[in-house]
A and B are shown apart, each in its own frame.
Chain A
């Protein structure tokens, strides 16, 4: 049985401005598979409906994965034979669904005078309507046989394996040119995804997060250790979930003040069975962090 949680908290900078939370997050977990998804609506003024865009992205993703799982046995059998192709197909369907959702939203909610007031007529004409809803998307999926994930734009995907090894399986974004934020609203969005597929290692937990979380850390090591700590507490998630929300809120207030979302899915059996291993890994990480600091302070 899979389980999960997801939370989105508003960044302090957005609270100060009185704007809405532009992040969205959700998870689905059942006895067959689990999906953790987050999306971060863009902040600049031409993306004035990005909160709707991020919510549409999350909904489109959950619907797409559910659709692929209509025949679960067949899907899980065929997927490992050509994972890249299947993931690409999923990404394309997500984009199509997202486009359908925002098109429908615009049809039902034409742009208001208030939304146009910050633009000249010429400026506004040049903005493609998809940009109003611009958003990133980070998705992680796990089933008993394999795990995979895909991402467009900033954000992070972290995998914690049953032995406590914690990694970001999707490397640095190489698909987007420098200084261009990859987004669902780009006309070539389908070519801007990065993805991973894993079937040789058993996943204990998968996490997706918007970049508000990553940028609240001082190092990649701290960021990864954070996920290992959470994984070591998943056996008692009811008691721990409040602490996670509190910590996310702290990070969104004292870090970069950005909206922050974290979504997690995990195998209940594995996190219960491997709890001692995960707890030992947390202690080892603390020791390694101490050693790193000592090395850093070693003056020439």
Chain B
């Protein structure tokens, strides 16, 4: 190639933009950006809520849950303000399973749809459905990097289907494996041992026996899990030893368990129990 028709073959690296341009103007992002039609994505966190809407939830439990979830959304919105795009996906299960929205919704656009309770508890089918959607080719298809998801299960009873098969499918899913799992048992019938099978540890299983506790527990778990879930943990420790993803996951899940238990200990046990008052 002759020199005269070779254009700009110089290789660019080793220099910050400010070395050859005006840094102040480059970092002034408030003006009109012709490329702004395609927005910048931060690192994203999807919070999955798995909610039991079977008949036993009917009445005050469902009413309270709807109200709490409406109030919770602005609180979660604040978690993601700084560095994280928080998205929410809600899967309800009774005789049928259904997603509230066709895909995870940015928390800024999310509006809670009040749920109704009826039918039986197809929790195993919900686990299978969750596993199918927790995939790069489905709900987790954003090019931007994703934190491992938060998965929060709420139920007031025992599954009426074969939940173990569904859970086995879910446990083979890498997003589930690295996700932060928590569960809330509502009322006397919910089985904490079964919920611990879902979370992998009893530390992230909490129980609400009253309307007041339900509000407290949902907020404690959802907000704490979102905060820890969106926390960037370096992949090296203080000795510069590189950590594996397993190490980071284990640290986060442990942190979630500790913080949830600390916060639960601080709550009081007032209000009328679900199963006596409702």
Chain A residues near B (Cβ < 8 Å): 3-10, 15, 20-31, 44-45, 51, 54-55, 58-59, 62, 66, 69, 118, 214-220, 222-223, 225-226, 229-230, 233, 240, 243-247, 249-251, 253-256, 261, 286, 289, 295-300
Contacts and interface: CB of A to CB of B under 8 A. Distances in A.
B143 A220 contact: yes
Given A253-B27, A299-B113, 17 more contacts: A9-B16, A9-B17, A24-B12, A25-B12, A28-B9, A30-B6, A55-B13, A215-B144, A216-B143, A216-B144, A217-B38, A218-B44, A223-B143, A229-B35, A240-B34, A255-B41, A300-B100
Contacts of B13: 8, 20-25, 51, 54-55
A12 to B, nearest CB: 10
A66 B2 CA distance: 10
A62 B39 CA distance: 33
A5 B27 CA distance: 21
Contacts, number: 165
A296 B105 CA distance: 8
A215 B145 contact: yes
Nearest to B104: A296
Interface in B195-250: 236, 240, 242
Contact of B42 (A3, A255, A295): A255
A62 B12 CA distance: 13
A5 B10 CA distance: 11
12 contacts: A24-B13, A25-B11, A26-B12, A27-B8, A214-B143, A215-B143, A215-B145, A217-B143, A223-B143, A226-B35, A289-B37, A297-B101
Instruction: Output the residue of B6, B7, B240 with the most chain A CB within 10 A.
Output: B7
B105 A254 contact: no
A229 B144 contact: no
Interface residues of B, number: 50
Interface in B1-48: 1, 5-17, 21, 25-27, 29, 33-44
Contacts of B5: 30-31
B277 interface: no
